[in-house]
Amino acid sequence: MTVPNGKSGRLAFRNARLIDPASGFDIKGGLLVENGRIADIGPRLFNDAEPRDPEIIDCRGLVLAPGLIDCRVFTGEPGSEHRETLASASDAAAAGGVTTIVTMPNTNPVIDEPSLVDFIRRRAQATAKVNVAPMAALTQRLAGETMTEIGLLQEAGAVAFTDGDRTVANARVMRRALSYAATFDALVAGHAEDPELVQGAASTESEFATRLGLPAAPALAEAIIVERDIRLVELTGARYHFGQISTRAALDAIAAAKAKGLPITCGVSAHHLLLNELDVGAYYTFRKVKPPLRAETDRAAMVEGVANGTIDVIVSSHEPQGADTKRQTFASAAFGAVGLETLLPAALNLHHNGDADLMRILASLTIAPAKLLGLPGGRLAKGAPADLALIDIDEPFVVDERALHSRARNTAFEGRKFQGRAQMTFVGGECVFSRVD
Amino acid sequence: MTSPSPSPILKTSHLLGIEGLSAPEVTGLLDLGESYVAQSRAANKKAALLKGRTLINLFFEASTRTQSSFELAGKRLGADVLNMSVKTSSVSKGETLIDTASTLNAMRPDILVVRHQDSGAAELLSRKLDCSVINAGDGAHEHPTQALLDALTIRRRTGRIEGLTVAICGDILHSRVARSNIRLLAMLGARVRLIAPRTLLPCEAERFGVDIFTDMKQGLAGVDIVMMLRLQLERMSGAFVPSTREYFRFYGLDREKLSCAKSGALVMHPGPMNRGVEIASDIADDLDVSLISEQVEMGVAIRMAVLDALARGLS
């Protein structure tokens, strides 16, 4: 394999295992890229004749899939560029096979103004090597009091509306915001933790938290908000996505809401699929995430939710933190862990464990988020953007924080043995990452 | 001057809402209103129909145009008019509405015109007072004379109401004008559309037999009349819409949106207008499309008609 420079406009992938969760095909074949888009695809492509293209990539049986779309990425731009910029986050994304990052508005200033959505898009255009799709704030300054200009923000390019890792505590404000969002058919992404109930908590209430003496909140803080918001969706008809859930109670409530036909979807983070509360171990602050890690039964429920499709998308919840915020006691350390580069390996863990099938896992990372947000990528289809990940699904490796591309190193998976990761990543037909020299 | 018609126009001694009126009653009021337009335009505007009668304007909410319109209507018909506003009444000193009613009753007025911030206030007073009560706007319930003057304005311009498509746009949730207009226009055979963001649409609004749109351009397609409502800016902080600039962008009437309506479509507004919020200035001031000043003129005429109709029933 050679690294293409991607400048010719034509790129041919041969001998690939083509997996497209959008159409459900998993076949051996080839794929042709022209001018940044998928021009052709099929089992017999290039069989009769060698493609007469200047750039040919022999995939040698590796998986060629749509590039990943990560629906929940916090960056530090603007305001905390020392933790992460759009550029450094995009480096990490590319290294993880992620071709679109959906950014959270929790920056300084908060992305609650059309001009700031425009700023993110321009900065991304100028500095990021993957696609950046910004979510805008649902309430002004994320204060949970006054809804944002959803119509104007949508016109500026916001793909959805969220207060990120904050819950809108006031049900009246939430009702109005959902009702207003429904006017524009805008997607609202909520965070489900009752803010009063979890105030000051660093972990989930349990025997383990008691032994460690950690400030803790009951796991049902999540279901309380999930159930409230489901009722509000029923009232308002808004399209609603729970950014990430972490408990069985929330999963069951969402499954019931979906069965009723409500326009509700949800995500789960890789952390909550692979780790449980015991992984906090000896006050390991890199595993202090929001919501906090849960009981093993809840973790198992999350895996089940991905396998049976109740959970629509898997996200990294990439949240860069620096030494200043993480080299602290557990109670005072900031929440969050980086995850763009471990999203795919962590998700593939479900495949290797036999917990969920590969097609379903890849769907939750590609076509499901694309459909949710109305993005053009996430599929291997003629005319679709050539956002692609070439994946060796079996390659073993050990996570080493020093090898991360993110500006922040706070991975929750340091030293973890994984199997499978991206070998090459393409955005609009251009190679933005390659593990091959 | 109109000579009293043989049968009374109104069957009740109060005008509390459009709800409860019949189509012949409404048409009768419109016809009578028509005749008062000429009188209002004449040099001598005064008639003696209400000579010796007392009309009290009791306004718990500030209003310039409705109050002065009723005052003029009363004076043009020869009544003695007393304006009471809440600032100067004992209500601001804590008196209940019913106590106020008994006090007023003792003064023996013939007609009481009342505006109140709470729905049902006019109805309550009508039960406690011996005089005729006219609802000049109660909460988000009804504002019948506004709907009547709107209908008169439309009828004079287009010659009919039946078969027209009328779009009522904006803050319908808080609007008594919208509720009265929906009832009246539907009664006279117009097709009514409501256009608003969902936050400003009342619950179950579709049960009023109207078509509902959240996209203004779609909602305006093919309409004959565009009725804009005032965005109650004092409610902006209540988070029904995020900002006035966003409101204007999606729900403010400008040339571009108006071009979706039928060509020659007419624009109305009950006032007071927020220019650049719900209506662009150039439309408000365009005499070819805007009926706004005409509405004010018809307001006096229709209120004279209402006073006349009620006076016929006075003993």
Using a CB–CB cutoff of 8 Å, tell me whether A333 touches chain B.
no
Q: For A19, what's the count of Cα atoms within 13 Å in the CB-facing half-sphere?
A: 25
Using a CB–CB cutoff of 8 Å, tell me whether A141 touches chain B.
no
Burial zone of A132 (CB within 10 Å; 0-12 exposed, 13-18 middle, 19+ buried): buried
Tens digits of residue pLDDT in A369-409:
999 999 999 999 999 999 999 999 999 999 999 999 999 99
- Which residue among A151, A176, A179 places its CB closest to the CB of B246? A151
- Which residue among B199, B245, B249 places its CB closest to the CB of A180? B199
Which of A242, A247, A240 minimizes the C-alpha distance to A222? Answer: A247
* Length of chain B (residues): 315
Residues A323-334, mean pLDDT to the nearest whole number: 92
Catalytic position from the list B14, B53, B76, B115:
B115
pLDDT score, position B42: 87
Contact A177, A139 (CB under 8 A): yes
Q: How many Å separate Cα B134 from the centre of its chain?
A: 12
What confidence tier does B89 reach under pLDDT thresholds 50, 70, 90? low
Residue A309: C-alpha distances to residues A23, A305, A361, B63 (Å): 16, 6, 9, 58
pLDDT exceeds cutoff 80 at B86: no
Using a CB–CB cutoff of 8 Å, tell me whether A146 touches chain B.
yes
pLDDT exceeds cutoff 60 at B3: no
What confidence tier does B5 reach under pLDDT thresholds 50, 70, 90? very low
pLDDT score, position A60: 95
- Which residue among B239, B240, B246 places its CB closest to the CB of A152? B246
Contact A173, B239 (CB under 8 A): yes
pLDDT exceeds cutoff 80 at A48: no
Residues A216-225, mean pLDDT to the nearest whole number: 98
B62 vs A398 pLDDT, higher one: A398
Cβ distance A147 to B249 less than 8 Å, yes or no, reads no
Residue corresponding to tokens 């390019």: A157
What confidence tier does A3 reach under pLDDT thresholds 50, 70, 90? low
Mean pLDDT of chain A: 95
What confidence tier does A244 reach under pLDDT thresholds 50, 70, 90? very high
User: Closest residue of A to B215, CA-based?
Assistant: A183
Residues A43-62, mean pLDDT to the nearest whole number: 81
Using a CB–CB cutoff of 8 Å, tell me whether B241 touches chain A.
yes
Residues B154-183, mean pLDDT to the nearest whole number: 96
Burial zone of B162 (CB within 10 Å; 0-12 exposed, 13-18 middle, 19+ buried): exposed
Using a CB–CB cutoff of 8 Å, tell me whether A182 touches chain B.
yes
Q: For A237, what's the count of Cα atoms within 13 Å in the CB-facing half-sphere?
A: 8
Contact A431, A5 (CB under 8 A): yes
Of the listed ranges A40-49, A112-121, A264-273, B64-73, the one predicted with least confidence: A40-49
What confidence tier does B1 reach under pLDDT thresholds 50, 70, 90? very low
Annotation says B262 is catalytic: no
Residue B161: C-alpha distances to residues A166, B23, B148, B234, B284 (Å): 52, 12, 12, 33, 22
Tens digits of residue pLDDT in A124-158:
999 999 999 999 999 999 999 999 999 999 999 99
Using a CB–CB cutoff of 8 Å, tell me whether A145 touches chain B.
yes
Burial zone of A403 (CB within 10 Å; 0-12 exposed, 13-18 middle, 19+ buried): exposed
Cβ distance B242 to A180 less than 8 Å, yes or no, reads yes
pLDDT score, position B97: 86
Distance from CA of B284 to the nearest CA of A (A): 24
Distance from CA of A151 to the nearest CA of B (A): 7
Using a CB–CB cutoff of 8 Å, tell me whether B11 touches chain A.
no
Contacts of B194 in chain A (CB under 8 A): none
pLDDT exceeds cutoff 50 at A319: yes
Catalytic position from the list B93, B96, B108, B207:
B93
pLDDT exceeds cutoff 70 at A119: yes
Tens digits of residue pLDDT in B197-240:
999 999 999 899 999 999 999 999 999 999 999 998 766 555 79
Contacts of A148 (CB under 8 A, 6+ apart): A112, A136, A137, A138, A139, A140, A161, B242
**Can you give the three-state secondary structure of B64-87, one letter per residue?**
CHHHHHHHHHHHHCCCEEEEEECC
pLDDT exceeds cutoff 90 at B278: yes
B86 vs A275 pLDDT, higher one: A275
Using a CB–CB cutoff of 8 Å, tell me whether A140 touches chain B.
yes
Cβ distance A146 to B239 less than 8 Å, yes or no, reads yes
Residues B293-299, mean pLDDT to the nearest whole number: 96
User: Closest residue of A to B200, CA-based?
Assistant: A180
Catalytic position from the list B76, B141, B143, B179:
B143
- Which residue among A148, A179, A237 places its CB closest to the CB of B242? A148
Annotation says B141 is catalytic: no
Using a CB–CB cutoff of 8 Å, tell me whether A133 touches chain B.
no
What confidence tier does A45 reach under pLDDT thresholds 50, 70, 90? confident
pLDDT exceeds cutoff 70 at B94: no
Strand intervals (E) in B123-209: 132-138, 165-169, 191-195
pLDDT score, position B43: 83
pLDDT score, position A7: 54
Cβ distance B249 to A173 less than 8 Å, yes or no, reads no
User: Closest residue of B to A238, CA-based?
Assistant: B198
Best of B169, B194, B198 to substitute, by most chain A Cβ atoms within 10 angstroms, is B198
B92 vs A156 pLDDT, higher one: A156
pLDDT score, position B8: 83
pLDDT score, position A324: 87
Contacts of B218 in chain A (CB under 8 A): none
Residue B78: C-alpha distances to residues B51, B82, B131 (Å): 5, 13, 18
pLDDT exceeds cutoff 50 at B4: no
What confidence tier does B2 reach under pLDDT thresholds 50, 70, 90? very low
pLDDT score, position B6: 46
pLDDT score, position A314: 98
Interface of B with A in 74-133 (CB under 8 A): none
Annotation says B179 is catalytic: no
Amino acid in position B93: K
Cβ distance A146 to B237 less than 8 Å, yes or no, reads yes
Contacts of A140 in chain B (CB under 8 A): 242
Residue A394: other Cβ atoms inside 10 A: 12
Residues B271-275, mean pLDDT to the nearest whole number: 91
Using a CB–CB cutoff of 8 Å, tell me whether B197 touches chain A.
yes
Contacts of A100 (CB under 8 A, 6+ apart): A67, A68, A69, A70, A130, A131, A132, A133, A369, A375, A377, A378, A387
Of the listed ranges A333-342, B80-89, B136-145, the one predicted with least confidence: B80-89
Mean pLDDT of chain B: 91
- Which residue among A148, A152, A180 places its CB closest to the CB of B198? A180
Using a CB–CB cutoff of 8 Å, tell me whether B245 touches chain A.
yes
Tens digits of residue pLDDT in A53-89:
668 999 999 999 999 999 999 999 999 999 999 999 9
Tens digits of residue pLDDT in A404-421:
999 999 999 999 999 999
d(CA A317, CA A268): 9
